[in-house]
Structure 1
Amino acid sequence: MSSPDPSTAPTLEDLPGFHIRRLQQIAVAVFLEETQAHGVTPVQYAALAAVQRQPGIDQRTLARTIGFDTSTIGSVIDRLEARGWMLRNASASDRRVRLLTLTAEGEALLNAVQPGMLRAQARMLEPLPEAQRADFMAMLRVLVDGNNEFSRAPSAPLSGRGSD
């Protein structure tokens, strides 16, 4: 079997996956910079925001909602619970199921983090002309939704997505 010809191989700069990975690194860095005073990660923020939107959501549904591994969502919730931001409550109908709610401190944290989170989102889109930002977001949704099945943690967003 012969080696591929390097002169015909695409460069990294021609590969969408390369740019998507870089953009994800940038998104995390900008989020952490804008919210550093609160010590919350993007995954923790997503979990808190999803629980705020649907109090009493179970851990498995939360994981699917935010596109996170069901096997590791428990450790995220452990950290949120240890910080006093989220509570796990046993379901009345199935004691094995844990239903999630935010504490008053968790609600306050989301309110405090929101301005920085919104600044981070604006900073990520800032290089685009304003007229292209909505189109870019629409294209991102098409790519994510169209490739969702290939994720290690396919998401099943809460109803009303995109209307926020």
Structure 2
Amino acid sequence: MDSERPDLGAMVMRLGRRLIAMEEPILERHGLTMWAYVVLTALREGPTRTQAALAQSIGADKTRLIPILDDLQKRGLIERDPDPADRRVRLLGLTTEGQRKQRAIQSEIRTAEDDLLEDAADREAFVRALRDLT
């Protein structure tokens, strides 16, 4: 056991701050906040049935999410369509422009991640370990 190394939580927190600092300029170039990008990425898989379901899936307060959704809709990146099964409910989904924007940002982030983890074998092992732990 390596008692001299920092705890995993401490290392993950430092890494998280470093990754956020790496992503922020990319998001700024695209005119999005981190939460807006999180929303676009969550909706990439397909429509979400309610704002509350989206908030829960990304760990956001649903009341704080509404202005983000309003802005994304105003910018033409997401749609809020009535659910044919229940007209009181809105289906949230990406527009074609929202899909394009999400892919462009993710591509730039992946390039920055590749620069951070230059060795492909180390990168694959790290990603696998993160998936296993989360």
Q: TM-score under structure 1 normalisation?
A: 0.64
Q: Give the structure with the higher percent helix.
A: 2
Q: Which has the larger radius of gyration?
A: 1
Distance in 1, matches of 2:56 and 2:112, equals 24
Distance in 2, matches of 1:133 and 1:111, equals 20
Q: Equivalent residue of 2:36, what SS?
A: helix
Matches within 5 A, 1:1-164: 14-54=6-46, 56-58=47-49, 59-65=51-57, 67-71=58-62, 72-126=64-118, 129-144=119-134
Distance in 1, matches of 2:23 and 2:11, equals 18
Structure 2 contact 27–34 (Cα < 8 Å) conserved: no
Divergent runs of 4+, >6 A:
none
Residue 148 of structure 1 corresponds to: none
Structure 1 contact 27–124 (Cα < 8 Å) conserved: no
Residues 45-80 of structure 1, C-alpha deviation per residue, up to 9 Å, x if partnerless? 2321332331x3223443344x32252433332231
Distance in 1, matches of 2:16 and 2:41, equals 19
Letter paired with 2:60: D
Identity %: 31
Instruction: Report the number of matched residues.
Output: 130
Residue 157 of structure 1 corresponds to: none
Letter paired with 1:53: E
Bigger relative CO (Cα 8 Å, ≥ 6 apart): 1
Q: CA RMSD in A?
A: 2.6
Distance in 2, matches of 1:38 and 1:136, equals 28
Distance in 2, matches of 1:94 and 1:27, equals 40
Gaps spanning 5+ residues in structure 1: where?
A: 1-9, 145-164
- CA shift, 1:99, in A, is 0.6
Letter paired with 1:57: T
